[in-house]
Structure 1
Amino acid sequence: MTLSVEQAYRAIAARMPQHTGAAAAPRAVPATVLADPEWLRADLDTAARLYGGADGRVLGTIRWYSASSVLVAPAIEGLVLAGHALDPALAATTFAMHPDGRFAGARSARVLGPDPAELGAALAESLGAAVAAIAGVSGAAERALWAIAGDSIGNRLLWAGTARGDVERVLALAEPLAARIDPRLPRPRFLRVGDTPVLRRSSCCLIYLAPGGGDKCVSCPRQRPDERDRRLRELMG
């Protein structure tokens, strides 16, 4: 059965009312900006205002950490909760953005089929275009940006699987989906903290390197494994 966009979003909202497409913000921005060097250079200025002065590599990484999570969300939420992925193509996706430049959410205007392989091919194209452009403008390494994209996919699978109430089956999609995208994209890995599944991150957002960025995130991979595990246990209870 082929779903319309409206049917897909209704199915998503039934299980995840606060899905990414439900986010409201006054600015609608086409996701094609992620492959536009001129917009990306201006966005580094936006990042500097949001996070303080830092070099382009740090600011570009921080921004991609937010943008990639929002970009892949409609596709993952659609696949898991509606049975059909929403198209992650840059030309099909529109960001909802706050006036200060923060990403609030995203919606896709097209529906793909139910095959994860089709979604993998679509993600390969959209993520590849964005990663190449952001690396070229910011100086961030493409491999690091691909790692962030992998973590974004892993987290969205985890959250959508939780909303569906079938986490283990949904997380099993991570390996075959990632294999269809790009060899540079790390396979999402998961661990359990008590009874709670948690993404074992491969990437760092680098926000701790920005002025006022604070400490490393609880799940940051740039800390000793025993320290990360201790902080995760304390957070998860």
Structure 2
Amino acid sequence: MPSLSHRRWRHTGRRRARARASRSRERITTMGDRLPPRVDAFSGEALRDGAWLARQVSDTRRRWRFREDRAAGTLWWYSASATLTAPGPRMLLADGTAPNPALAQLDCTLTPYGHLGSARSAGWVSGPDEYRRALVPAFAAIIGALARASGAPEPSLWAIASDSLANQALQAGVDAGRCADACVLARRLTCPPLVPARFVDVVPHPSAPHPSAPLAMDGAARVSVRPADPASPPPAGGLRIVRRSSCCLLFQAPGQGKCVSCPRRSPGERAAALGGWFAGS
């Protein structure tokens, strides 16, 4: 039978855990930037409105000087999906709860640049499965309307949403020192129609020079890029990143290039870019 002192410690630990969970909810109250209430906030239901989305696509196309709506809609969703998924994986990893992502629960704001700046939820969900069950219909409504408004293919928009979830989960895991737990969570959240989250480990070659040394002629020679087991921690000295299934299409805007891990890069080009990124990280 546990001693009185053990029972007292256990009850105190539970109270402390509840207090930490409460503080976590106080810290992460928005799906995006933490902002005070604003008079220009709008219901999350607008995110499924075709006319409203068409205006966002037109604005993004004008700002970035895209040639077509498809690229503008894709880039807008790349940013919006990152905002919508920002606190969910982080809070699920911390205490098993998350803001309810159902559109009717959200009050949203835009940034001065037309991006989705924040999305406050009025409710909570418990556990990864409940979060996913609320998130998928919300994303389905947005993606269907955005595809019609911009011409962007729905599978591409689902892939972007999946990569956003994976990135947010991975960053939460890195911050908490729980990378493997976060990657497993990402896999659990990204069930069809979302694309299963994938990760790779970028590790230095044993013969590679110190990262602070000048970059070699072939950046790919500095690193090895290996498929990652989500349930295992990254190897010592390595960095885990999302193996992207999607492209934001920013490179189609004048003066812009491809992201380091862009899936539209050739494998050799991507490895070289990752080598340069790894050296500077």
TM-score (norm 2): 0.73
> Are 2:214 and 1:172 equivalent residues in the alignment?
no
| 1:191-224, Cα deviation, whole Å (9 max, x unpaired) | 1113211011000001111233x11111100011
Change (3 A) 1:172 1:54: same
Alignment of 1:174-193 (within 5 A): 174-179=186-191, 183-193=192-202
Q: 1:202 aligns with which of 212, 229, 245?
A: 245
User: Residue type matched to 1:198 in 2?
Assistant: I
Instruction: Tell me which moved more, 20-29 or 223-232.
Output: 20-29
TM-score (norm 1): 0.86
1:107 shift after superposition:
2.5
Residue in 1 aligned with 2:166? 154
Alignment of 1:84-103 (within 5 A): 84-103=97-116
Question: After the TM superposition, which parts of structure 1 deviate over 6 Å for at least 4 consecutive aligned residues?
Answer: none
Q: Is the partner of 1:112 in helix, strand or coil?
A: strand
Residue in 1 aligned with 2:62? 49
Residue in 2 aligned with 1:216? 258
Q: 1:138 aligns with which of 128, 131, 150?
A: 150
Residue in 2 aligned with 1:226? 268
Instruction: List runs of 5+ in structure 1 lacking aligned partners.
Output: 2-6
Does structure 2 conserve the Cα–Cα contact (< 8 Å) formed by 1:21 and 1:107? no
> In structure 2, what is the Cα distance between the partners aligned to 1:144 and 1:120?
19
> In structure 2, what is the Cα distance between the partners aligned to 1:90 and 1:204?
25
Aligned CA-pair RMSD: 2.6
| 1:159-188, Cα deviation, whole Å (9 max, x unpaired) | 111222211111111222212xxx232111
Change (3 A) 1:97 1:185: same
Change (3 A) 1:35 1:138: same
Q: 1:61 aligns with which of 33, 52, 74?
A: 74
> In structure 1, what is the Cα distance between the partners aligned to 2:89 and 2:142?
18
Amino-acid identity (%): 37
Residue in 2 aligned with 1:4? none
Q: Is the partner of 1:221 in helix, strand or coil?
A: coil
Residue in 1 aligned with 2:90? 77
> In structure 1, what is the Cα distance between the partners aligned to 2:25 and 2:94?
5
Does structure 2 conserve the Cα–Cα contact (< 8 Å) formed by 1:87 and 1:109? yes
Considering only CA atoms, is the larger Rg found in Structure 1 or Structure 2?
A: 2
1:24 shift after superposition:
6.6
1:131 shift after superposition:
0.7
Residue in 2 aligned with 1:128? 140
> In structure 2, what is the Cα distance between the partners aligned to 1:235 and 1:29?
39
Larger relative contact order, structure 1 or 2 (CA cutoff 8 Å, min sep 6): 1
User: Residue type matched to 1:220 in 2?
Assistant: C
1:58 shift after superposition:
0.8
